[in-house]
Structure 1
């Protein structure tokens, strides 16, 4: 095992060369065309800024943990993101540099925000158009605040597809319960995927939801939670490959009254047998934070819940082992 670890360490170090090669070819492909407007507009500065932020966090984490191979690798791609940002902000386009760095950044981000609505024109009306409008409206309302820009963005899809959509009905019939709304939104996305839409369409929907969440220039805690979940659910459908980390919320009724609450009020839960009798579980979740919120929602009904990576068959033994899972009690 020690020899195997040494071999992996050597290969990991050598992989830095492959990362440098990859970065070089990407830069080389753009370098001769960096002054062309079409090339510049094909680069999303917003996406590169998000990538730079993430890579910077990972680089610092690797540095603090003295994992220098990971630090060097992420630094290479963080540098590549910086290069793409400079190209994407028209720095090398003739006549643009004189505007100044911050002016170019502001103009580029404004251009991308305006262009986000153009997705509606290229995204042909799908068979599940009403479901998509419903999903988008729930995403916009997940933080209980509807920004005019979010409203206009969704309305552009409804108008383009010829769908009558009432914002009054959405706000009037809405329940102000974060857990309930998160569950409903995820279930509606699952129902939409159950209609087997084309993978390209789902990929476009993912981009549209990302654009919607960022259109008001502020990502709320609720939006961050649901995006953490959808960023597992949608890519899995697109790639047709299972994501590794998925979480269950297990509900363990403590008496007959709680069994009645589960069977009558929580139809999304599935009953299954355990050694002590039976318990209930949710569908699989991709984000632990999302699973924790759902667990808290059930706990508010005085139900005992467990968040776990596996579907336990021995409830008592797992409850006693709090080193492997997180417990939420009454």
Structure 2
């Protein structure tokens, strides 16, 4: 029994030494970089606060009970967590406003609170690859056929991303007419809602245009949606204020109920003193006019109204 206790004491002493070594290596690696903003922002204030408050009770407990080795181990850990906390709040970062430690803590705390769901979002949307394939799938089927070049082009991305594409090649999407084009727009809107990088959005614009041009025959539908998608993606990537086009519909009294059943998401507005509904807002005038024409054919009075991004 005494031999076992001696061995455990020796292991405990080695553990304290290893903790001290880990603390030294961690601080040493960060010491010359502790004044950099990116280093400060890469450390979690929340994590260090939790580490400090979970280590402190053990330090007090083992100090009171005279267990010096374990108390020393927790003291070293506490020292490391306090150092990382100071790094996380930007204690050594140069600040022209000369903020105090409390102000730096509040700033870092608020910033991390805003970023607290980043990992959750990444886990919920690990790749966005399937959303991209869905867009390509619908673009390829715009002319109601999928030729071999289009198939191979989509398959190239699917193979790279290791995604099963059997569902893409079986049959065309069920939508027809303007609804087919609107569904492509909906897929792009859903993709942009996942907040992809600007570089990826720009690349998707190029990929869509290449897919449209791959069979060397561009239909009117492909031309319309190609320009509309490019406008959406480029506008997202550049964040510049651009002109948008809203389709305004003025239903007659007897058409009111049927129109709202047809477009339940339509927003009521007053344009030049007249009541109208916004059926959709688009990037390009030709697409807005095509969308407007679809409702004219159903007997509704429509106009295309120019917007800007602040008005929309």
Q: TM-score range by the shorter chain?
A: 0.5 to 0.7
Q: Which residue does the alignment assign to 2:267?
A: 270
Structure 2 CA distance for partners of 1:280 and 1:170, relative to 1, 3 Å: farther
Query: Secondary structure of 2:304's partner?
Result: strand
Structure 2 CA distance for partners of 1:271 and 1:208, relative to 1, 3 Å: same
Rounded to whole Å, the distance in 1 between the matches of 2:181 and 2:250 is 21
Q: Which residue does the alignment assign to 2:244?
A: 246
Query: Secondary structure of 1:247's partner?
Result: strand
Query: Secondary structure of 1:190's partner?
Result: helix
Q: Does 1:279 align with 2:280?
A: no
Alignment check: 8 A CA contact 1:142 1:222 kept: yes
Alignment check: 8 A CA contact 1:295 1:307 kept: yes
Q: Which residue does the alignment assign to 1:32?
A: none
Q: Which residue does the alignment assign to 2:14?
A: none
Query: What is the Cα-based RMSD across aligned positions, in Å?
Result: 2.4
Alignment check: 8 A CA contact 2:263 2:279 kept: no
Q: Does 1:167 align with 2:161?
A: no
Q: Which residue does the alignment assign to 2:195?
A: 196
Q: Which residue does the alignment assign to 1:234?
A: 233
Q: Which residue does the alignment assign to 1:150?
A: 150
Q: How many angstroms does 1:169 deviate by?
A: 5.5
Structure 2 CA distance for partners of 1:159 and 1:270, relative to 1, 3 Å: farther
Rounded to whole Å, the distance in 2 between the matches of 1:269 and 1:241 is 26
Rounded to whole Å, the distance in 2 between the matches of 1:237 and 1:276 is 32
Aligned residues: 183
Q: How many angstroms does 1:132 deviate by?
A: 0.9
Alignment check: 8 A CA contact 1:248 1:281 kept: yes
Decide which moves more: 182-191 or 302-311.
302-311
Q: Which residue does the alignment assign to 1:98?
A: none
Q: Does 1:184 align with 2:190?
A: no
Query: Secondary structure of 1:280's partner?
Result: strand
Rounded to whole Å, the distance in 1 between the matches of 2:142 and 2:196 is 24
Q: How many angstroms does 1:204 deviate by?
A: 1.3
Q: Which residue does the alignment assign to 1:85?
A: none
- TM-score of the aligned structures, taking structure 1 as reference length: 0.51
Q: Which residue does the alignment assign to 1:120?
A: none
* 1:1-330 matched pairs, under 5 angstroms: 127-165=127-165, 166-167=167-168, 170-171=171-172, 173-177=173-177, 179-243=178-242, 245-256=243-254, 258-273=255-270, 278-310=275-307
Structure with greater Cα Rg:
2
Structure 2, unpaired ranges of 5+: 1-124
